[in-house]
Amino acid sequence: MSRFVDRVVIHVAAGSGGNGCASVHREKFKPLGGPDGGDGGNGGDVVLVVDSNVHTLLDFHFRPHADAASGKQGQGANRDGATGEDLELRVPDGTVVLDEAGEIVVDLVGHGTRFIAARGGRGGLGNAALASKARRAPGFALLGEPGETRDLVLELRSVADAGLLGFPSAGKSSLIAVLSSAKPKIADYPFTTLVPNLGVVTAGDSVYTIADVPGLIPGASQGKGLGLDFLRHIERCAVLVHVVDCATYEADRDPLSDIDALEEELARYTPALGGTLADRPRLVVLNKIDVPEARELAELVRPEIEARGLPVFEISTVSRAGLRELSFALAKVIEEDRASKPAPEATRIVLRPTAVDDAGFTIVQDPTDDTGFIVRGDRPDRWVRQTDFNNTEAVGYLADRLARLGVEEALAKAGAVPGCPVTVGGVTFDWEPSTPAGVAVMMHNRGDDPRLDRPTRVGAPERKAQKVLRRTPFEELLDEDEE
């Protein structure tokens, strides 16, 4: 027997972008081949796709971690890295996606509906794409961005037009079995359905779905019994049907008290998808009238139920009495609900241009340091993530980009002084406003920037001089000292 799972927590991680390549074309008799490093590939997305053939979240229960493929690194000869493939996760129709705080992110309804749960990182640019008049042969490339990582909650809320409400063993499973081709578990002993069952009903020209959901008991709105696991499956229903057992052997129960108990639980429950259950149409089904005592009780309580404004149907799933009238009554209510809803409109593409006064970043005082500042913005944060801080030329390029964006000017207006700590994208720098930006960079070794402090590691010229010194005979060194 397959296991039904309607709520899971998944951990999705999109693929990281591949790093760009820093390469220089080398060919015989062509000493100035120029940069030819390719770009890194973009990381793959994690996408949730509604599939009408999937009816449970069981796969995510056993495999809650989903990682998309990362992009490949760029290579020389202007070869770009391969793009990581998207990871598509199939979910049932009616799946609601919530974030860690419990807020609804998206409601996935309709076969083929797609939602990007985690976006892949951008691939880094190679040095061929970074070449300019100021930097003819960049000795660096941009790093790929890490992919987005999120923890999401998936909840399945059944997509049904009519929902059957009732106490355990009220006959809901039997009713859906005779109205549709569904085959729920039915037995001649008391038990409650543990998983929702869906069936398709045809009444004349109308076709609608009906849900047989777990039995409801007093206190369900506070989580008692199956509690909220049951109630969320009726949030989408257009009509609610009270299935009342008129042949119950429990002395403290009767049809009116059962209806009152169910209505009290519905009034206490607040649907997460919005609205209330109080405004949903109701029908009352007095079941098991094939039993003589049950028929007498149904005839006795019917006038009082109708006095409350609720349509009443006396049925028997054994003799099939009253089923035709019930199916057509449900079809009428459902068709009226469908007609009252607005017609679906085509998806509109909304373009939101950047405001003319939007600088793309903001500067705030560092709460942990009175002399420090924090630069916040999508572009500055992304540029920092793309920078290789082991390469001083790449750091100088980052300084140029921030200066062209207006960060240095904004820091000066905010009261920043040379040497004060400035945090961008989680990395803290000692601000040096004298660093020129956007000017022609002087000739220098690849991977180095003369505007910045020289790195502590020994460069190629120093290593070459030390090598020559080691190979010089000791006598020649003494002669040079005497002279």
Going by the annotation, the residues of the binding site for GTP are 166-173, 191-195, 212-215, 287-290, 316-318
Q: Which two tokens stand for residue 209?
A: 């779905």
Q: Are strands 104-108 and 95-98 parallel, antiparallel or unpaired?
A: antiparallel
CB atoms within 10 A of CB 76: 18
Q: Is 41 within 8 Å of 18 (Cβ atoms)?
A: yes
* CA–CA separation, 395 and 446 (whole Å): 13
* CA–CA separation, 1 and 21 (whole Å): 53
* CA–CA separation, 180 and 200 (whole Å): 5
In the block, tokens 């760009």 appear at 20
DSSP 8-state secondary structure symbol assigned to residue 232: G
DSSP 8-state secondary structure symbol assigned to residue 222: G
Binding residues: 166-173, 191-195, 212-215, 287-290, 316-318
The CA-based angle 276-281-287, given to 5 degrees, is: 120
Q: Is 158 within 8 Å of 213 (Cβ atoms)?
A: yes
* CA–CA separation, 432 and 407 (whole Å): 12
Binding residues for Mg(2+): 173, 193
* CA–CA separation, 2 and 58 (whole Å): 9
Round to the nearest angstrom and report the end-to-end CA distance of the chain.
98
